[in-house]
A and B are shown apart, each in its own frame.
Chain A
Protein backbone atom coordinates (compact mmCIF):
# COMPACT_ATOMS: atom_id res chain seq x y z
CA UNK A 1 0.00 0.00 0.00
CA UNK A 2 1.38 3.39 -0.99
CA UNK A 3 -0.18 5.62 1.67
CA UNK A 4 1.52 8.97 1.24
CA UNK A 5 4.04 9.56 -1.53
CA UNK A 6 6.41 12.50 -1.45
CA UNK A 7 8.64 13.65 -4.27
CA UNK A 8 11.45 14.31 -4.67
CA UNK A 9 13.23 12.34 -1.97
CA UNK A 10 15.92 14.97 -1.79
CA UNK A 11 16.89 18.14 -3.61
CA UNK A 12 19.63 20.72 -3.63
CA UNK A 13 18.37 24.12 -4.68
CA UNK A 14 20.04 27.46 -5.28
CA UNK A 15 18.80 30.34 -3.17
CA UNK A 16 16.24 32.44 -4.98
CA UNK A 17 14.91 29.57 -7.07
CA UNK A 18 11.40 28.23 -6.76
CA UNK A 19 10.54 24.66 -5.90
CA UNK A 20 7.40 22.58 -5.48
CA UNK A 21 7.39 19.59 -3.20
CA UNK A 22 4.80 17.05 -4.20
CA UNK A 23 2.58 15.03 -1.91
CA UNK A 24 -0.03 12.49 -2.93
CA UNK A 25 -2.12 10.22 -0.74
CA UNK A 26 -4.28 7.29 -1.75
CA UNK A 27 -6.20 6.86 1.50
CA UNK A 28 -8.94 9.40 0.64
CA UNK A 29 -8.13 11.29 3.82
CA UNK A 30 -9.82 14.67 4.11
CA UNK A 31 -7.07 16.48 5.97
CA UNK A 32 -3.48 17.01 4.86
CA UNK A 33 -0.51 18.79 6.40
CA UNK A 34 3.01 19.96 5.69
CA UNK A 35 5.65 19.98 8.41
CA UNK A 36 9.31 20.84 8.50
CA UNK A 37 11.67 18.98 10.78
CA UNK A 38 14.71 20.74 12.17
CA UNK A 39 17.21 19.41 14.67
CA UNK A 40 16.21 20.20 18.24
CA UNK A 41 12.85 21.63 17.20
CA UNK A 42 10.83 18.57 16.38
CA UNK A 43 8.24 19.00 13.64
CA UNK A 44 6.54 22.31 13.01
CA UNK A 45 3.40 22.77 10.97
CA UNK A 46 3.73 24.93 7.86
CA UNK A 47 0.29 24.71 6.25
CA UNK A 48 -2.70 22.46 6.49
CA UNK A 49 -5.86 21.63 4.59
CA UNK A 50 -8.96 20.30 6.33
CA UNK A 51 -10.61 19.35 3.05
CA UNK A 52 -10.18 19.78 -0.70
CA UNK A 53 -10.52 23.43 -1.68
CA UNK A 54 -9.45 24.85 1.69
CA UNK A 55 -6.07 25.63 3.20
CA UNK A 56 -4.79 27.30 6.34
CA UNK A 57 -1.59 28.57 7.91
CA UNK A 58 0.27 26.65 10.57
CA UNK A 59 3.05 27.77 12.89
CA UNK A 60 5.70 28.66 10.29
CA UNK A 61 3.93 29.55 7.00
CA UNK A 62 6.13 32.42 5.80
CA UNK A 63 7.87 31.71 2.50
CA UNK A 64 5.59 28.78 1.66
CA UNK A 65 2.33 28.35 -0.19
CA UNK A 66 0.02 25.38 -0.73
CA UNK A 67 -2.98 24.42 -2.79
CA UNK A 68 -5.55 21.67 -2.47
CA UNK A 69 -7.30 21.26 -5.81
CA UNK A 70 -8.41 17.71 -5.02
CA UNK A 71 -8.45 15.22 -2.16
CA UNK A 72 -5.29 13.37 -3.09
CA UNK A 73 -2.72 16.10 -3.79
CA UNK A 74 -1.25 18.76 -1.56
CA UNK A 75 1.81 20.44 -3.12
CA UNK A 76 4.03 22.80 -1.16
CA UNK A 77 5.72 25.64 -3.04
CA UNK A 78 8.72 27.73 -2.09
CA UNK A 79 8.48 30.79 -4.32
CA UNK A 80 11.99 32.07 -3.66
CA UNK A 81 14.04 29.71 -1.54
CA UNK A 82 16.31 30.95 1.24
CA UNK A 83 18.97 29.00 3.16
CA UNK A 84 16.85 28.97 6.33
CA UNK A 85 14.40 26.74 4.47
CA UNK A 86 16.95 23.96 4.45
CA UNK A 87 15.10 21.21 6.26
CA UNK A 88 13.38 17.86 5.98
CA UNK A 89 9.79 18.29 4.88
CA UNK A 90 7.06 15.85 5.79
CA UNK A 91 3.61 15.61 4.33
CA UNK A 92 0.90 13.98 6.44
CA UNK A 93 -2.77 13.15 6.23
CA UNK A 94 -5.53 12.18 8.62
CA UNK A 95 -8.98 10.75 8.22
CA UNK A 96 -10.92 13.82 9.27
CA UNK A 97 -9.76 17.15 10.64
CA UNK A 98 -11.80 17.23 13.81
CA UNK A 99 -11.55 13.73 15.15
CA UNK A 100 -8.89 11.90 17.08
CA UNK A 101 -7.40 10.17 14.09
CA UNK A 102 -3.62 9.97 13.98
CA UNK A 103 -1.72 11.69 11.25
CA UNK A 104 0.08 9.41 8.82
CA UNK A 105 3.33 10.67 7.37
CA UNK A 106 5.19 10.34 4.10
CA UNK A 107 8.86 9.46 3.99
CA UNK A 108 9.99 13.07 3.79
CA UNK A 109 11.85 15.31 1.35
CA UNK A 110 15.32 16.49 2.31
CA UNK A 111 15.82 19.97 0.90
CA UNK A 112 19.08 21.89 0.95
CA UNK A 113 19.15 25.54 -0.07
CA UNK A 114 22.58 26.84 -1.03
Chain B
Protein backbone atom coordinates (compact mmCIF):
# COMPACT_ATOMS: atom_id res chain seq x y z
CA UNK B 1 0.00 0.00 0.00
CA UNK B 2 1.12 3.54 -0.72
CA UNK B 3 0.45 5.88 2.13
CA UNK B 4 1.64 9.08 3.76
CA UNK B 5 1.02 9.73 7.43
CA UNK B 6 1.33 13.10 9.09
CA UNK B 7 0.47 12.25 12.65
CA UNK B 8 0.51 15.84 13.89
CA UNK B 9 -2.80 17.43 13.01
CA UNK B 10 -1.99 20.80 14.54
CA UNK B 11 1.09 22.36 16.09
CA UNK B 12 1.20 25.65 17.92
CA UNK B 13 4.48 27.40 18.71
CA UNK B 14 5.69 30.80 19.74
CA UNK B 15 7.77 32.80 17.33
CA UNK B 16 11.49 31.92 17.27
CA UNK B 17 10.88 28.37 18.44
CA UNK B 18 12.12 25.52 16.29
CA UNK B 19 9.47 23.11 15.09
CA UNK B 20 9.60 19.74 13.34
CA UNK B 21 6.79 18.40 11.19
CA UNK B 22 6.77 14.63 10.90
CA UNK B 23 6.10 12.61 7.76
CA UNK B 24 6.11 8.83 7.52
CA UNK B 25 5.48 7.08 4.24
CA UNK B 26 4.78 3.57 3.00
CA UNK B 27 5.65 2.22 -0.41
CA UNK B 28 6.99 -0.95 -1.96
CA UNK B 29 8.56 0.96 -4.83
CA UNK B 30 12.33 1.19 -4.80
CA UNK B 31 12.25 4.42 -6.77
CA UNK B 32 10.04 7.18 -5.46
CA UNK B 33 10.03 10.87 -4.68
CA UNK B 34 8.98 12.79 -1.63
CA UNK B 35 7.69 16.35 -1.57
CA UNK B 36 6.68 19.02 0.88
CA UNK B 37 4.08 21.65 0.01
CA UNK B 38 2.98 24.67 1.99
CA UNK B 39 -0.57 25.98 1.98
CA UNK B 40 -0.75 29.43 3.58
CA UNK B 41 -4.08 30.93 4.73
CA UNK B 42 -4.57 32.39 1.26
CA UNK B 43 -5.12 28.83 0.04
CA UNK B 44 -2.60 28.26 -2.73
CA UNK B 45 -0.23 25.29 -2.63
CA UNK B 46 3.43 26.15 -2.78
CA UNK B 47 6.08 23.57 -3.66
CA UNK B 48 8.92 23.53 -1.11
CA UNK B 49 11.19 20.58 -1.79
CA UNK B 50 11.60 17.32 -3.70
CA UNK B 51 13.75 14.39 -2.63
CA UNK B 52 14.34 11.13 -4.51
CA UNK B 53 14.67 7.76 -2.85
CA UNK B 54 18.34 7.41 -3.71
CA UNK B 55 19.45 10.62 -2.09
CA UNK B 56 19.41 10.54 1.68
CA UNK B 57 21.39 13.71 2.15
CA UNK B 58 19.71 16.19 4.38
CA UNK B 59 18.96 19.54 2.86
CA UNK B 60 18.94 23.02 4.30
CA UNK B 61 17.41 26.07 2.72
CA UNK B 62 17.56 29.09 4.95
CA UNK B 63 15.48 28.35 8.02
CA UNK B 64 14.08 25.18 6.47
CA UNK B 65 15.73 21.78 6.69
CA UNK B 66 14.66 18.30 5.73
CA UNK B 67 15.75 14.99 7.20
CA UNK B 68 15.19 11.95 4.98
CA UNK B 69 15.73 8.54 6.55
CA UNK B 70 14.87 5.48 4.49
CA UNK B 71 15.47 3.18 7.46
CA UNK B 72 12.49 4.68 9.23
CA UNK B 73 10.58 5.74 6.08
CA UNK B 74 10.49 9.29 7.31
CA UNK B 75 10.93 12.68 5.66
CA UNK B 76 10.70 15.24 8.43
CA UNK B 77 10.68 18.99 7.98
CA UNK B 78 12.18 21.40 10.49
CA UNK B 79 11.67 25.15 10.64
CA UNK B 80 14.30 26.92 12.70
CA UNK B 81 13.45 30.16 14.48
CA UNK B 82 9.85 30.06 13.31
CA UNK B 83 8.08 33.22 12.19
CA UNK B 84 4.44 34.20 12.00
CA UNK B 85 4.64 33.97 8.20
CA UNK B 86 5.35 30.27 8.58
CA UNK B 87 1.78 29.74 9.75
CA UNK B 88 0.23 27.41 7.19
CA UNK B 89 -0.84 23.87 6.52
CA UNK B 90 2.06 21.73 5.40
CA UNK B 91 1.59 18.66 3.27
CA UNK B 92 4.00 15.82 2.74
CA UNK B 93 3.49 13.85 -0.47
CA UNK B 94 4.81 10.65 -2.00
CA UNK B 95 5.19 10.27 -5.73
CA UNK B 96 5.09 6.76 -7.11
CA UNK B 97 5.02 5.36 -10.60
CA UNK B 98 2.13 3.00 -10.19
CA UNK B 99 -0.65 3.22 -12.75
CA UNK B 100 1.55 4.89 -15.34
CA UNK B 101 1.08 8.42 -14.18
CA UNK B 102 2.65 10.95 -11.90
CA UNK B 103 0.68 9.92 -8.86
CA UNK B 104 1.07 12.12 -5.82
CA UNK B 105 -0.22 10.71 -2.56
CA UNK B 106 -0.72 13.39 0.05
CA UNK B 107 -0.75 13.18 3.79
CA UNK B 108 -3.64 14.79 5.64
CA UNK B 109 -1.51 17.83 6.44
CA UNK B 110 -0.20 19.51 9.58
CA UNK B 111 -1.53 22.90 10.52
CA UNK B 112 1.22 25.06 12.01
CA UNK B 113 0.31 28.15 13.97
CA UNK B 114 3.15 30.47 14.92
CA UNK B 115 2.18 33.06 17.51
CA UNK B 116 3.99 36.32 18.15
Asked whether A43 and B101 contact (CB < 8 A) given A88-B43, A104-B47, A105-B44, the answer is no
- Is A94 part of the contact surface with B, judged by Cβ < 8 Å? yes
- Bound CA span A100–B47, Å: 13
List 26 interface pairs A-B (beta carbons < 8 Å), by A numbering. A31-B101, A33-B104, A40-B9, A41-B108, A42-B4, A42-B91, A42-B107, A42-B109, A43-B91, A43-B106, A44-B106, A45-B103, A48-B102, A50-B100, A56-B100, A90-B45, A96-B102, A98-B97, A100-B50, A101-B102, A105-B37, A106-B44, A107-B42, A107-B43, A108-B43, A108-B45
Q: Give the distance to chain B from A57, nearest Cβ to Cβ, in Å.
A: 9
Besides the contacts A43-B93, A45-B104, A90-B45, what 17 more A-B pairs have beta carbons closer than 8 Å? A40-B108, A43-B104, A43-B106, A44-B106, A48-B101, A50-B102, A58-B103, A94-B102, A96-B102, A100-B95, A102-B50, A103-B102, A104-B47, A105-B37, A105-B47, A107-B43, A108-B45
Asked whether A42 and B108 contact (CB < 8 A) given A103-B102, A105-B44, the answer is yes
Q: Give the distance to chain A from B4, nearest Cβ to Cβ, in Å.
A: 8
- Bound CA span A104–B35, Å: 12
Interface centre among B37, B104, B109 (most CB of A within 10 A): B104
Q: Given the complex, which residues of A lie within 8 Å of B64, measured CB to CB?
A: none
Interface size, B (range): 20 to 34
B residues lining the A interface (CB < 8 Å): 4, 9, 33, 35, 37, 42-45, 47, 50, 52, 91, 93, 95, 97, 99-104, 106-109
Q: Given the complex, which residues of B lie within 8 Å of A97, measured CB to CB?
A: 101-102
Q: A98–B102 contact, CB under 8 A?
A: yes
